[in-house]
């Protein structure tokens, strides 16, 4: 049985987070196999704007990109101090000036590569971050190019928040005698009884 935290909260009046819900499910005999929270995994990735993309001086297939990481688009940044563009070496064929994409700063864990990104030197040029593909974020198998976002995506905002990925997904292992919990409404009813919170009845 799989359900999301937001779906559960459609049936349960609670402000409990994913960890608290998982603990309570286990304590009432509903074994939690996994809790996947892509929002937490991708919390350090940022919506960013490629200001320029020039040929790398020492490599034909690489580009030297200057990347604006926020805090906001130029139309929203009146009165705010904008950060200096960040230099990134990128080998993606679709890297180009004017593209809105997903940026990971040094220190970010890249789940699709199982590495923690550092400041690197690529063919003699410093690179202070990465423009990411969907495969690198484990969103799909697509690694042919970096992610392309709509032009109005807010520069500097967390990508997971903007993309609506902050909804943890639970998977529970139901035993044959718990058919009453084969739907999220039944799970909410049991949690309500255990936590003494309000169960929201079906309409």
Provide the 8-state DSSP code for 85.
P
Provide the 8-state DSSP code for 155.
T
**Do residues 158 and 165 make contact, with C-beta atoms less than 8 angstroms apart?**
no
Concatenated DSSP letters for 111-142?
Answer: TTTTEE---EEETTEEE-SEE--TTTTTS-S-
Per-residue pLDDT for the chain (203 aa), expressed as one digit of tens each?
889 898 999 999 888 888 899 999 988 889 999 998 878 889 999 999 999 999 999 999 999 999 999 974 333 444 455 678 999 999 999 999 999 999 999 999 999 999 999 999 999 999 999 999 999 999 999 989 999 999 999 999 999 989 988 888 899 998 888 888 888 989 999 998 887 566 666 54
Would you state the pLDDT for residue 196? Answer: 53
Would you state the pLDDT for residue 1? Answer: 87
pTM over 0.85: no
Would you state the pLDDT for residue 199? Answer: 65
At 114, give phi and psi (nearest 5°): 55, 45
Would you state the pLDDT for residue 80? Answer: 52
Q: Please report the domains of the chain, with CATH numbers, ordered by start residue.
A: 2-37+168-199 (3.30.56.10), 43-162 (2.40.50.140)
Tell me the pLDDT tens digit for each residue of 84-134: 899 999 999 999 999 999 999 999 999 999 999 999 999 999 999 999 999
Burial class (CB in 10 A: 0-12, 13-18, 19+), 80: exposed
Would you state the pLDDT for residue 163? Answer: 92
The pair of structure tokens assigned to 77 is 């940044």
**Do residues 140 and 134 make contact, with C-beta atoms less than 8 angstroms apart?**
yes
Would you state the pLDDT for residue 73? Answer: 39
Would strands 169-173 and 2-4 be described as parallel, antiparallel, or unpaired?
antiparallel
The pair of structure tokens assigned to 182 is 């084969």
**Do residues 57 and 64 make contact, with C-beta atoms less than 8 angstroms apart?**
yes
Would you state the pLDDT for residue 177? Answer: 85
């Amino acid at each position: 049985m799989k359900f999301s935290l937001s779906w559960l909260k459609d049936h349960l009046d609670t402000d409990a987070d994913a960890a608290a819900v998982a603990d309570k499910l286990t304590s009432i005999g509903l074994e939690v196999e996994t809790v996947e929270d892509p929002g937490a995994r991708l919390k350090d990735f940022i919506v960013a704007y490629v200001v320029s993309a020039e040929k790398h001086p020492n490599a034909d297939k690489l580009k030297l990109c200057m990347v604006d990481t926020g805090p906001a688009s130029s139309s929203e940044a009146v009165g705010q101090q904008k950060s200096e563009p960040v230099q990134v070496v990128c080998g993606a064929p679709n890297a180009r000036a004017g593209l809105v994409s997903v940026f990971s700063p040094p220190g970010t864990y890249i789940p699709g590569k199982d590495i923690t990104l550092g400041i690197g030197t690529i063919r003699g040029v410093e690179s202070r971050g990465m423009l990411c593909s969907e495969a690198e974020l484990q969103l799909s198998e697509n690694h042919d190019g970096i992610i392309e976002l709509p032009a109005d995506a807010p520069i500097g905002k967390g990508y997971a928040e903007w993309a609506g990925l902050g909804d943890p997904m639970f998977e529970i292992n139901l035993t044959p005698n718990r058919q009453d919990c084969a739907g999220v409404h039944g799970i909410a009813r049991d949690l309500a009884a255990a936590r003494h919170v309000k169960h929201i009845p079906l309409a």
